[in-house]
Amino acid sequence: MVLSVGALRRDMNDLAVETWRKIETGDEQGLAFGENSLTDHNLWTLAQKHPGLNVHRFSQNREKETGADWEWWIGSMAQGWLCLRVQAKRAYRRTYPELDHAGNGDDDYQYDTLINSCDLLRGEYPLHVFYNGWKRKYFGHDSGWAAPAKWRACSGNAGPGKCWHAHPVHYGCAVASSFAVKAVHDLRCSNRRMVTAHLSWALPWSYLFGRSRLGRRVRTGAAEPKVATATPEWLDWVQANLDSLVDELPADADMRPRLPGSTQTDDRRQRRAEQLPAYANAVRRGTVQDSLQEISFMSPVASCVIVLDIDAEERGEADNHTGGSLDYEAWKARQGDLG
């Protein structure tokens, strides 16, 4: 069995909804989940559910130098690797106040540091993941959408509430190009930190790995991805999708990503890392604990690292995800029999 992209995307949507609820109701309860807590839960859950995904949080890392909260490596030894380098920002009421966070050294802002740490020619993409949640009419739109932000989730030009591809709560985890975040924030106008300004450039994070192709009456839960399983062709699609995500910017953006003109698949494949860095390879093999002494030499770029090896199951290295948990399931089943 190869990793099912549809299942992965459904789980990412479910986690986006859960994240939304945590912020929507948690803040009121004084349970203000922070970015790290949300990231830990979301990445851990995905790794639990999908063999081929491995995750680790490093206490020693170069997050300050790179501005990266987490990194997602996707690929294989044979196909090369893409790196999604992510800064996570959560909404506090109507804004993302931490976008004002200063950068490292000479960088004005933390997003400049993140952008500068990425080399697009080596398949490293700077991204923001926004954690969102609010009450239905908070922005005055009955669907729950943060009007007047542009709704980009629909390929059929339907608006929020009418669109079957995505629901506003799927923006509980929303992804945007850090170049777009920079373009909006650099405007220095009053809405540069506003949720509404940034969501116009964001998509549900499940869109990173596939787009739903739906008839008008099909529900979101039944959405099929464009490519069904994590294959080399799927990796090509993910990369093309990332290219278009970082390439699409506000017209008045000062800084544009340096992507080569060619969109040939073979040329794209040249823009990947041939090998994983040592820390990510240790995560991939699930051997970080064995190599903790070497961790200072590994110098992880972000504190949290998740690796999706599309060839993992062929090597049979992913079986540490099942059968653990102290045989609790067997105990519970027997308890049921006795009751």
Among 163, 176, 230, 318, which residue interacts with Zn ion (rule: CB under 5 A)? 163
Residue 218 is a binding residue for Zn ion (CB under 5 A)? no
Residue 77 or 154 having the CB closest to Zn ion: 154
Residue 162 C-beta: closest distance to Zn ion, Å: 8
CB of 242 to Zn ion, least distance (A): 21
Choices 63-71, 157-165, 192-200, 216-224 (CB under 5 A): range interacting with Zn ion: 157-165
Cβ at position 314, least distance to Zn ion in Å: 36
The span of 39-47, 162-170, 305-313, 328-336 binding Zn ion (CB under 5 A) equals 162-170
Which residue number, 74 or 163, has a Cβ lying nearer to Zn ion?
Answer: 163
Closest approach of Zn ion to the CB of residue 155, in Å: 6
Part in contact with Zn ion (CB under 5 A); list of ranges 9-17, 86-94, 152-160, 227-235: 152-160
Q: What is the dihedral of CA 201, 71, 230, 212, to 10 degrees?
A: -20
284 binds Zn ion (CB under 5 A): no
According to CB under 5 A, which residues from 128 to 147 bind Zn ion? none
Select the residue interacting with Zn ion from 165, 167, 182, 284 (CB under 5 A). 165
At closest approach, how far in Å is the CB of 10 from Zn ion?
A: 17
b/e burial code for range 51-75 (CB count within 10 A of at least 16 → b): bbbbbbbbeebbbeebbbbbbbbbb
Q: From the CB of 251, what's the least distance to Zn ion, in Å?
A: 25
Q: Decide if residue 158 touches Zn ion (CB under 5 A).
A: yes
Residues near Zn ion (CB under 5 A), total: 5
Among 7, 77, 154, 218, binds Zn ion (CB under 5 A): 154
Choices 18-26, 151-159, 178-186, 188-196; region in contact with Zn ion by CB under 5 A: 151-159
Task: Tell me whether residue 2 or residue 158 sits nearer to Zn ion (CB atom).
Answer: 158
Provide the binding-site residues for Zn ion, judged by CB under 5 A. 154, 156, 158, 163, 165
